[in-house]
Structure 1
Amino acid sequence: MSSWMKFNLMNSASPIMEQLIMFHDHTMIIILFITISVMMMMSLLLTNKFSSRNILENQILESLWTMIPAIMLMFIALPSLKILYIMEELINPSITVKIMGHQWYWTYEYSDKKNIEIESYMLNKPKKNEFRLLEVSNRMILPFMTQTRLIVSSSDVIHSWTIQSLGVKMDAIPGRLNQSSIMLNKPGVFFGQCSEICGMNHSFMPISLESINMKSFIKWMKTNN
């Protein structure tokens, strides 16, 4: 059972990732239908079942195999456009976090109520129960069930702030502010890594986000004042 689970996507921790998983499954059903249809047609061609003149010169059949792929593309395009629109939509975010990429660490700035800035480096010697190459000195802390706006940029080269289970991948470009939004739907710790080749220590630039309740988040804000 555990080996089969490795073929699936990561468990979602945000509504956006849930929509992306549903779109993946929807698209795979269409691809499976296309693959089976093409294999059946190839097998019939190899057995000379399509050698009839009525089939080779059938105008209705030619119209159908021109229209059906276009209809299938519409079934793929419409859900894709809906998800793209949802990912770009920002509706009254409660928290704004500015994420800056450096060589080779991240800084997180909370400037809504109090100016809090933390630096997040990879731990060279993680503890016994911590993950190697994923644990950081300071995690990014966010409350779950709260709309959060992310402003992503870089101070040196191009980075990419990515957490797979949240469905977020935003490039950090020097001199440019990119914007994204997330809403965590459960507590936990979620890991990611820089997904842009940013130099020698690119593979040692992990991301760690901890999701907590709002009461604990307010307490954390007060202690980091």
Structure 2
Amino acid sequence: MPALARAEEGTLVGQPTPWHIGLQPSVSPVSDQMHNFHNLLLWIITLITIFVLILLVYVLVRFRASANPVPSKTSHNTLIEVVWTVVPILILIVIAVPSFKLLYYADKAPDAKLTIKAIGHQWYWSYEYPDNGNFTFDANIVQTADLKPGQPRLLTADNVVVVPVNTDVRVLVTAADVIHSWAMPAFAVKKDGVPGRLNETWFRAEREGTYYGQCSELCGQLHGYMPIEVKVVSQEAYAKWVEEAKKKYASVDGSSPRLADASLAQ
């Protein structure tokens, strides 16, 4: 992969930085491939732009009025017409092949070990963990006055999605009211949540840390205040968090985990 595609140790990842140009550093295999595809397109469009510029300059100089007092009346040229038809087709094929591969690769997890359901609301996110205790919680924005040192404004949530590192995570995205979009730039994930529909995406975070995203579908007055915060931790830390989350958050059916445990004990 290109040297700029993968985040280096010690660099700030998972959130935008001042004066940053380009994509956020990659921490997932899908993001790696998307960066490579982006770089491929950049080279192709740069070469096309330079070629068109050269043609324009050549035509301006070669066929200016002073150099051609009697303009050419050529109506067609078979070779040129074949070239300008075949070459764009070949360019589109070069773009289409890796594009389709990337679309299929990013669509569904090959062998997901963890499933999380993200539900968009006006204007916050709800999350369900059906594989680990079947609990659910809401994630709202932390107001500017309540931010702690190091927490980015407009990106910090009061409850954080926690996932283990180097684990294929399936994300099921839907919405309760209008269309929302669950987007995480560092993972190269952006999936719309549509009411009445369940969309699927996945990621594998290969570096521990905290990553930030936002709702990326205009969904109303507070669209810009729907942060997404994902914390990637070790397998051991994740197992510990799950046990704490079972006690802290409600179960998906709305009952209290503590009350459910007490009834089972009886």
TM-score (norm 2): 0.78
Instruction: Quote how far apart the aligned CAs of 1:45 are.
Output: 0.7
Aligned pairs for 1:96-107 (under 5 A) are 96-107=115-126
Consecutive unaligned residues of structure 2, counting only runs of 5 or more, are 1-16, 247-266
Q: Which residue of 1 aligns with 2:42?
A: 28
> Which residue, 142, 156, 177 being the options, matches 2:198?
177
Helix, strand or coil for the counterpart of 2:156? coil
Whole-Å separation in 2 of the counterparts to 1:166 and 1:94? 17
The CA distance in 2 between the partners of 1:93 and 1:140, in whole Å, is 17
Q: How many residue pairs are counted as aligned between the two chains? A: 222
Matches of 2:18 and 2:80, distance apart in 1: 40
Q: Over the residues paired in the alignment, what is the CA RMSD in angstroms? A: 2.1
Counterpart of 1:22, as a letter, is N
Q: Counterparts of 1:220 and 1:86 in 2: how far apart (Å)?
A: 30
Percentage of identical aligned residues: 35
**Distance across 1 between alignment mates of 2:178 and 2:172:** 16
Unmatched runs of 5 consecutive residues or more in structure 1: none
Partner SS for 1:16 = helix
Q: Of 98, 107, 116, which aligns to 1:88? A: 107
Aligned to 2:238: 217
1:141-156 alignment, distance < 5 Å: 141-156=162-177
Q: 1:142 aligns to what SS in structure 2?
A: strand
> Which residues in structure 2 correspond to 1:133-172 (within 5 Å)?
133-172=154-193
**Counterpart for residue 142 of structure 2:** 123
Instruction: Name the amino acid aligned to 1:182.
Output: F
Counterpart CA distance in 2 for 1:38 and 1:4 is 34
Instruction: Tell me which residue corresponds to 1:208.
Output: 229
Residue 191 (structure 1) aligned to one of 212, 224, 227: 212
Measured in 2, the distance between the counterparts of 1:36 and 1:113 equals 54
Determine the C-alpha separation between the residues in 2 that align with 1:99 and 1:169. 12
**Deviations for 1:68-115, whole angstroms, at most 9, x for unmatched residues?**
111111111111011001011332211011111112111111111311
Structure 2 counterpart of 1:12: 26
Q: Secondary structure at the match of 1:211?
A: strand
The 1-side partners of 2:164 and 2:176 are apart by: 27
- Please name the residue that 1:79 is paired with: 98
- Compare 31-40 and 85-94 and name the one that shifted more: 85-94
